[in-house]
Amino acid sequence: MTMQPVRVRFAPSPTGFLHIGGARTALYNYLLARQTGGSFVLRIEDTDQERLVPGALENMLAALRWLGLQWDEGPQVGGPHAPYVQSERAALHRARAEQLVLAGKAYYCYCTRERLDALRTEQRVLKRPPRYDGHCRGLSAAEAAQLRAAGTPAVIRFKTPADGSTTVTDAIRGDITVQNSTLDDFIILKSDGLSLYHLAAMADDHDMGITHVIRADEWLPSLPKHALILRAFGWPEPVWCHLSVFRKPSGKGKMSKRDAAELRGTEGHSIFVHELREIGYLPAAVLNWLALMGWSYDDQKEDFDMAELVRCFSLARVNPAAAAVNFEKLDHFQGVHLRRMPVPLLATELAPYFVAAGVQADPAMLERIVPLIQERITTFEDAPPLAGFFFRASVDCSSADLLVKDKTADESAAILQRAHALLAALPTMQHSAVNAALTALAAELALKPGQLFSPLRMAVTGQKVSPPLFESMELLGREVVLARIAAGAQLLQAL
């Protein structure tokens, strides 16, 4: 069944860099918008100015763009509901708060800090949950007017129904009911006239015509308040969908900042989108991975590109259970998408990683090398250590690995010299010819192929693990191959 075009929003607070949890939230919103021909709105929620982190906003915009999650309305692109930065909508929020006061759904509260502190202490001593006692809710109009006339600072509090319960329906979790007695008359506007998050978000969602709110389940405790605000205004409720946060790779507990730092340091992984990009993961792999962390299609198909995700995604198959972050799975998808990449494109993507590793990689040569390494790398960062030898003037060999197994250094040197002579005389360096000639040489010297090829690999590539040896030799060319084998033999003779 095709749905009506949705209007969804991703509403990050710029209090940190975009992590995989946020990226998945953005992705699900994006998919639903694209699938239904709707709109994906990006709203920056910066009402908590004290928690803002410099650079976080730029980081988020860049990370979303890199993932291909382009927003239809929001910062940098504008739209009919601008501004899309919450702090710039403060006057709208204040007007909404006052509207609720006029409607008798909210009230001015003049309680001083001292009174509230005393109340809290008393509640602590009596082992009661901390909550506002409704003192100003009962003020008479005359009392309130007097306080206002005296210029007493005031906040606006929401009038939470004292009795009964509030039920909200979540698309993947069903009905969620809380007793209203557990919610207090929470503040919606501070004394400085700035709105608190609950009101700001609901007012913005309404004013921006948001039809579906897909967000992290850390917002579940706020959900009844959000529903009560919408109902107090008489506004329709969006479809709610609260996604489970991820658990640590071990499956135990929520990922902390320290866990995240350790991950980057020890495992070469990251939960931050910009770092996954730096490491050299493909946006397609990250998207595929994130899509399946909390959603499944048919328990069979796992490889999806963006077009397929747009077609296949549905809230009905979003799983409310928390998934553990599984980086092996990310590597799997990286492999899938990396092998699908056209060679010239992969070569272009890899080039900067060689530069960063201090290797001058000739673009034409790199394009010929890519088919040899495309199957053998997981991330872009893996490429220079594997294929840097193609571009270096010489390679560093470990002499121990130049030794032919079960032979002395002199014998090994002699064997390398035989290989040198053979390759020098070979009519072509075409890899199958090289393979045939060296295999025959191994047989003639009564060596197992590996006994001969391992030291040759070390001499030519400086590595114990390399792309296929004979193809590598063909690409390196006879001159370089001979020079490196000669250098290897010399190293052995000097032992």
Active site residues per annotation: 257
Q: Shortest approach of ligand GLU to residue 46 CB, angstroms?
A: 9
24 versus 215: smaller Cβ distance to ligand GLU: 215
Q: Shortest approach of ligand GLU to residue 197 CB, angstroms?
A: 7
Q: Shortest approach of ligand GLU to residue 11 CB, angstroms?
A: 4
Q: Which residues in this chain contact ligand GLU in the complex, by CB under 6 A?
A: 11-13, 45, 201, 215, 219
86 versus 472: smaller Cβ distance to ligand GLU: 86
Q: Which residues, at least 6 apart from 419, have a Cβ–Cβ distance to it below 8 Å?
A: 438, 441, 452, 456, 485
25 versus 472: smaller Cβ distance to ligand GLU: 25
12 versus 467: smaller Cβ distance to ligand GLU: 12
43 versus 277: smaller Cβ distance to ligand GLU: 43
Q: Shortest approach of ligand GLU to residue 130 CB, angstroms?
A: 23
Q: Shortest approach of ligand GLU to residue 321 CB, angstroms?
A: 20
